[in-house]
Amino acid sequence: MQGKQILVGVTGGIACYKVCDLVSKLRQKGADVHVVMTAAAQELVTPHTFKSLSGNPVSTELFYDPKSVPHINLADKADLVVIAPATANIIAKMAHGIADDLLSTLVLACKCPIIIAPAMNVNMYSNPIVQENLEKLKIAGVKTIGPNSGNLACGTSGKGRMAEPLEIFHFVEEVLHNKKDLEGRKILISAGGTREPIDPVRYIGNRSSGKMGYALANAASKRGAQVTLVTTIIRDVEPGINVIEVETAQEMHDEILSQSCDSDMIIMAAAVADFKPKNVKNEKIKKLEKEGLIIELERTPDILKSLGKNKRKDQILIGFAAETQNLAENALEKLKKKNLDMIVANDVTCEGAGFGSDTNIVTIYDKRGNQKEFPLLSKFEISNKILDYALQMCSG
Ligand code: CTP
């Protein structure tokens, strides 16, 4: 981001307060951020807020300075334009080439990549006219992030929520860099926690959210890899990822092993159960007059250990170690015992590194005896660090 000129167009959606965070993040990463606000956006957040956060004057008027042509100056200098939130109005104006204020005029004059983050009421978003406008913009090369589903400011819920500032930030990074250094590589990734049935209604599970595995799959796919994701949890993924849904450790084992020979890199991010009920009941267990219940457990297969045993020389095998104590010692033991190239260890008791979080704090240990600690980062950023590290291991 260092030295990149990023133009952030803010339009009048209530989500514009979240864009303060985006502007701050972009500036912290070294970008030179210029904010352009529409009149409606200024009703919601003042230009002073964005001025303080970006460190640059905020542009609002097409004709404020007779000596300069602001829309051309801003458009010429920008490496990237991101419009967040993008209302149905700006989307319609862009789709039809309408230039009636500073933002709509300057996007017409821009040659750099343009990202929009739509945000609006669910019915507005699904309106065929809005969809047609979005399609037109897509054909014209405008990139879209979101909207997400969830509660909307208008009191309804559904698709229409602006993508989160962190997601937009990563998308900006990706569009700016657009590195495809994993092109031609096949990567197999596991995600989520396995579920071991006790009876038709109950199972033994764990707290894994699958976010780390999904972040890895999305990051690898964005960098050009051909990704297969074996997962117990369904989340949004990049188009093109082959998603295989499983439930138990045995099912995950069978899928992963059948896909493994063909893979250049395997990353086991899933939290696999080590034990499962020995006898799964066909009928729901009734409590009746019982004072307690003993369920006999037996071992599940260790998928990573099997992969380590059959590993090809040119294959990179990566494990995870989620620990609550003796992080380095436990991680290094797993690295060795399972014949891994790398292990990504995290202490789940640290704030920001627990299950379900969007962030993590990890240390990577490799089979050559090296280790690298990373600070608190988003799971997407960590995924890219893991992939960078793995690529370095590949190149010796
Ligand atoms: N793993 C696996 N199959 C299992 C258990 C774990 O493939 N049956 C993988 C996990 O996906 C992870 C790594 O092994 O990449 C370490 O998992 P973890 O649960 O931390 O360690 P375990 O080997 O299960 O040992 P323990 O639970 O005793 O810490």
Pairing of strands 196-199, 202-204: antiparallel
| Chosen CATH of 5-177 out of 3.40.50.2300, 1.10.10.10, 1.20.120.550, 3.40.50.1950 | 3.40.50.1950
> Would you say residue 290 has pLDDT above 90?
no
158-168 mean pLDDT:
92
Burial class (CB in 10 A: 0-12, 13-18, 19+), 205: middle
Tell which residue, 181, 174, 195, 164, has the closest CA to residue 84. Answer: 164
Residue 68 — pLDDT band, cuts 50, 70, 90?
low
Answer yes or no: is the C-beta of 334 below 6 A from any ligand 1 atom.
Answer: yes
Compute, in angstroms, the gap from residue 240 CA to the centroid of ligand 1. Answer: 28
Q: Identical fold at 5-177 and 186-395?
A: yes
pLDDT value for 55: 96
Closest residue by Cα to atom 9, ligand 1, is 304
Compute, in angstroms, the gap from residue 150 CA to the centroid of ligand 1. Answer: 34
Residue 158 — pLDDT band, cuts 50, 70, 90?
confident
Pairing of strands 32-37, 5-10: parallel
Residues designated as active site: 154
373-389 mean pLDDT:
90
**Residues 118-134: pLDDT tens digits?**
999 999 999 999 999 99
Q: Which of 149-163, 176-190, 197-211 has the highest mean pLDDT?
A: 197-211
> Would you say residue 79 has pLDDT above 80?
yes
Pick from 304, 324, 335 the residue to mutate for probing ligand 1's pocket: most ligand atoms within 8 Å of its CB: 304
Residue 64 — pLDDT band, cuts 50, 70, 90?
low
**Residues 194-234: pLDDT tens digits?**
999 999 999 999 999 999 999 999 999 999 999 999 999 99
State the average pLDDT for the chain: 93
pLDDT value for 180: 86
Shortest-distance atom of ligand 1 to CA 249: 8
Asked if the 186-395 domain carries CATH number 3.10.450.50, the reply is no
The residues spanned by each domain of the chain are: 5-177, 186-395
